[in-house]
Amino acid sequence: MTSTLPAIELEGLTKRFGSRAAVDDLSARIPVGKVTGFIGPNGAGKTTTMGMLLGLVAPTAGGGRVLGAPLDNPGAFLPRVGALVEGPAFWPGLSGSENLRSLAVLGGHDVSRVATTLEMVGLGERGGDRYGIYSLGMKQRLGIAAALLGDPELLVLDEPVNGLDPTGITEMRRLMAALAGEGRTVLVSSHLLSELEQIADWLLVIDRGRAVYQGPAAELATGAQISVQLLPASVTDFDKLLEVVAAEGHEPRRQGELVVVAANGDEPRLVSAALNRAAADAGIVLSEVRVDRPNLESYYLAMVEGGDK
């Protein structure tokens, strides 16, 4: 496993379906040995991108490398990649373990790993049951087990917690963190940042096929603006409040019934106190004064909905 080259490197990757660009000039680098959250709203191009990474979908333009091998030669890197894309798909007449054994034969993997992978995903006791009677969550777990069969360096998981109950989601997060702890690279997609916020070291956020953020997860929200929100007791005081805030040297904006003031790096509690005092001096009663500290999720939502970064 190399530690200098990125696990995945994309250069201008583009996929068009007719006139619609599902992935549009996407360039990205996914570091080795980290959990990378691949985030974007539904239809942002996540699954299409993963399809191109796995040789299932041919790019219209651009390219890249996966584990050092070119994207257009999936045979060179897929044996070292485990993947679950577009949901689990297995043979309903076979048991979970028979499905895995068959896939191990197809992939040239060690069949003796089947029991281990079933245990890893919590299906150890249900491996003998027919896949056709599995619940959605169990099917999802089997999909993860299949991805782990070849002891992969890189795991590509498309919405892996779909169908899992809260306990299953927690276990899946632990599993992904543990896999990354073993030095594997995990690329995991979701349309909800909150699902990955706790485990992702690195984020690739896309919207309408384009990257809108890539970098350490911890740095995503550092550019987010903390604001002070003021709610006048009487709506008739709204315009007057805007003037008072402007006179204090701020640039207020309306947000519904609220007057929103960016802290601009000042201590928000001091800004709140100053504005509260100024409003009172002007005879305005405020029924609410609160500090809004955006979390990662709200910052992400603002980003993909066209809000300011």
Radius of gyration of the chain (CA): 24
The distance in angstroms from the start CA to the end CA of the chain is 35
Residue 161 in tokens: 């917690």
In which residue are the tokens 């990662």 written?
A: 296
Residue 75 interacting with another protein (CB under 8 A): yes
Closest distance of CB 96 from another protein, Å: 13
Per rule CB under 8 A, is residue 46 in the interface with another protein?
Answer: no
Q: Is 86 in the site for another protein (CB under 8 A)?
A: yes
With 0-12 / 13-18 / 19 or more C-beta atoms within 10 angstroms meaning exposed / middle / buried, residue 46 is buried
Single-letter amino acid code for the residue at 4: T
Q: Tokens 């299953």 sit at which residue? A: 168
| Closest separation in Å from C-beta 263 to another protein | 46
Single out the residue of 74, 124, 294, 307 in contact with another protein (rule: CB under 8 A): 74
# chain residues binding another protein, by CB under 8 A: 32
Q: Does 48 bind another protein (CB under 8 A)?
A: yes
Query: Applying CB under 8 A, which of residues 18, 108, 249, 283 lies at the interface with another protein?
Result: 108
Within 13 A of 172's CA, how many CA atoms are on the CB side?
Answer: 25
Q: Which stretch binds another protein (CB under 8 A): 30-38, 86-94, 163-171, 272-280?
A: 86-94
User: Which range binds another protein by CB under 8 A, 35-43, 53-61, 206-214, 268-276?
Assistant: 53-61
Q: Residues 13, 32, 39, 85: which binds another protein (CB under 8 A)?
A: 85
- The residue with tokens 């970098």 is 215
Which positions ≥6 away from 273 have C-beta within 8 Å? none
| Residue 115 contacts another protein per CB under 8 A | no
CA 257, CA 236: separation in Å to the nearest integer? 11
Beta bridge partners of 287: none
Specify the residue, 58 or 178, whose C-beta has the smaller distance to another protein: 58
Per CB under 8 A, 90 contacts another protein: yes
Least Å distance, CB 137 to another protein, is 18
Six-digit token pair at 116?
């281990």
Indicate the residue type of 156. V
Q: Binding residues for another protein, per CB under 8 A?
A: 48, 51, 54-58, 74-75, 78, 81, 83, 85-94, 98, 101-103, 105-109, 146
